[in-house]
Amino acid sequence: MEAVRISVTMAFGMNDATARRTALVVVCLSSFITPLMLSSVNVAVPAIADGLRADAVATSWIATAYLLASSVFLLPFGRLADMHGRKRFFLAGMIVVSVASLLAGTAGSIEVLLAWRALQGVGAAMLFGTGVAILSAVYPRERRGGVIGISASAVYLGLTCGPLFGGWVVHTLGWRYVFVYHVPFTVVAIYLILTRLEGEWADGRGESFDLIGAAIYATAIVTLMYGISRLPAPTAYGLLLLGVLGLAAFVRFERGRTHPVFDVSLFFNNQVFACSCSAALLMYSAVFANSFLMSLYLQNLRGMSANAAGMVLMAQPVVQMVLSPAAGRLSDRFEPRVVASAGAAITVIGLVLLARLDDASTLATVIVSLMTVGLGFGLFSSPNVNAIMSAVEPRQFGLAGGSMATVRVLGQMSSMAVATVVLTLVMGRVQIAPAYHDSLARSISLCFVVAAALAGVGIALSLARGRMHPPRSP
């Protein structure tokens, strides 16, 4: 621990307390910006679809394009950051996100918009894997859960503000501005990174980059998602099979590499790490599409404005924001398995409540259902991240942070994939209009049923992770 303290002080050129505060402020700011951007756009989806005359399936790709690009580049960028410096990639990610956001606001067609959304995802991939790794290196293990909880609270603050700010922007200025209003926040983040975040983290300096492994992974992910987008066409099933085989080939290839782009051995040799990551994958698959689906429900089926819908959608993330720091501290004192599993169970209840909503449901019922999901996921998230980061050695913090970010993005992408498949099979490629509201309602309900089932499996994996804290003395 003393060696870690000395290295942190040398890296930052300042004392421990100042180094920790600086890292926490910068990481929390970046943790706030990306979900703010993502959740703002979800509220604007109906207006974007109307403005660009996009059908329901193309509309679902507004979120999916961002997530797909993030998932494809997250592992390679995480590895390159370990080799060449995490601060460098952190800064580059902020710059790319800023530029792509400005370009997205100028898009004249859905195809061009999706391209700029993908570029936003590339920039976000540079950010996702580094923040928690920095915090885990700077803060001692006994304080890690609480700090991770604060970082998670910043994420949920972004998710809380996104629907509110995004709804107001769409209602007042138009949907194009929803892509650019957060840019001042990225400018502030860039300034702080350049002037206050001293030092560099490059634990893998001098090691080789696994270009072949990165190419196999990227190809497999893109093939899978393109196959999903082609459902129910016959060619889609062949693409899905090729994607699954590609991921299997990636795992096999990486196990034999000296410097893999992703060390898959942790999933075979570390039960706590493997079960925690797998539970996170399923839980994000279950809940991420909530804001997209509920935005469609509130604006299309309930006739609410984007501004009003944004205020309702705040119910879930605001509970998560308030609860996350306390949940993180709880996991420092009690078994993360117990706290996270209880949260996963509450999440299932909330998803079942959402699946039962219809156009006759009261607004209070909608808000309580969203708050229940927020309560459950808030209890799950921080303890689960704490378990992941505490299951590895300090030299593996970058790898663990990248793994956590990867499963989160894959889970988010899978959540949107479920929504895309259901909308394709139930509604087809039609522009959402009153004539299709019945099929839209069925699609939304079915999505939440599938989500509840996924979260149910997440409970089992969370419980299976095993003990983290040593037994207390009698």
With the C-alpha atoms ordered 453, 455, 459, 461, is the resulting torsion angle positive or negative?
positive
Query: How many domains are contained in the chain?
Result: 2
249 and 265 within one domain: no
3-state secondary structure of 314: coil
CATH code where residue 113 lies: 1.20.1250.20
Phi, psi of 200 (to 5 degrees): -150, 150
Given 260, 276, 300, the domain boundary residue is: 260
Residue 376 included in any domain: yes
The answer as to whether 157 is a domain residue is yes
Amino acid at 122: V
**Cα angle vertex 347, ends 343, 350, to 5°?**
140
Average pLDDT, integer, range 19-46:
83
109 and 220, same domain (yes or no): no
More confident residue, 198 or 5: 198
In a domain, 471, yes or no: no
Same domain, 255 and 356: no
Closest CA to 7 of 199, 142, 141, 192: 199
Does 291 reside within a domain? yes
Can you give the pTM of this predicted structure?
0.76
- Domain finish residue from 221, 236, 260: 260
Does 248 lie in the same domain as 156?
no
Could you tell me if 325 and 394 lie in one domain?
A: yes
Residues 141, 230, single domain; the answer is no
| Percentage of the chain lying above the pLDDT 90 cut | 28
Confidence of residue 459 (pLDDT cuts 50, 70, 90): very high
Domain with 235 in it: 210-260
More confident residue, 400 or 289: 289
Check whether residue 125 and residue 72 sit in a common domain.
yes
Report if residue 474 sits inside a domain: no
Residues 6+ apart with CB under 8 A from 171: 305, 306, 307
Same structural domain, 173 and 220: no
- 89 and 161 share one domain: yes
On whether both 317 and 333 belong to a single domain, the answer is yes
Average confidence (pLDDT) over 63-78: 84
Same domain, 79 and 155: yes
Give pLDDT tens digits for 276-318: 999 999 999 999 888 889 989 998 889 898 888 888 988 888 8
Query: Which residues, 6+ apart, have CB-to-CB distance to 390 below 8 Å?
Result: 141, 144, 145, 336, 468
170 part of a folded domain: yes
- Among 45-59, 164-178, 358-372, the range scoring the smallest mean pLDDT is 45-59
CB 158 within 8 A of CB 316: no
Q: Does residue 56 sit in the same domain as residue 152?
A: yes
Domain boundary among 238, 260, 282: 260
